[in-house]
Structure 1
Amino acid sequence: MNSSHNLLIKIEYLRKKMTKVALSKGYTDLESVAISQELDRLLNLYEKTKEKNN
């Protein structure tokens, strides 16, 4: 399994987790924001990985 595939798995997991937390606690809750920031970081890393592999 390559690193971009692993990133996609983590990204999808965090998307689902963020949605669940945001719907139960609110979009501005600290946990929602923290998950969102981590998701942004992984998405940026994924884009860099894709560019590097092309």
Structure 2
Amino acid sequence: MFCKKAILLSAITLKKREMYIKARYFGMTDSRVVSCSQQLDSLLNRYQAIHD
């Protein structure tokens, strides 16, 4: 269980960085940023499900 949490936290951190970089270059409403945000939401939901 701990390993799965750690992997998800790493994926969340990387996805946040990716989203911030894309937002800086393309703007907050660009489809690439929105898609990245949705992927981040999915990762956060998965982490929350494990964390509870």
TM-score, scaled to structure 2: 0.93
Could you list the runs of 4 or more consecutive aligned residues of structure 1 that deviate by over 6 angstroms after TM superposition?
none
- For 1:21-52, what per-residue CA distance to the aligned partner results, in whole angstroms no more than 9, with x for missing partners? 0010000101000000000000011000011x
Match of 2:21 in 1: 20
Aligned residue pairs total 51
Match of 1:50 in 2: 51
Letter in 1 for 2:36: I
Match of 1:4 in 2: 5
Give secondary structure in 2 for the equivalent of 1:2. Answer: helix
Match of 1:35 in 2: 36
Give secondary structure in 2 for the equivalent of 1:28. Answer: coil
Give unmatched runs, 5+ long, in structure 1: none
Give unmatched runs, 5+ long, in structure 2: none
Structural RMSD (CA): 1.0
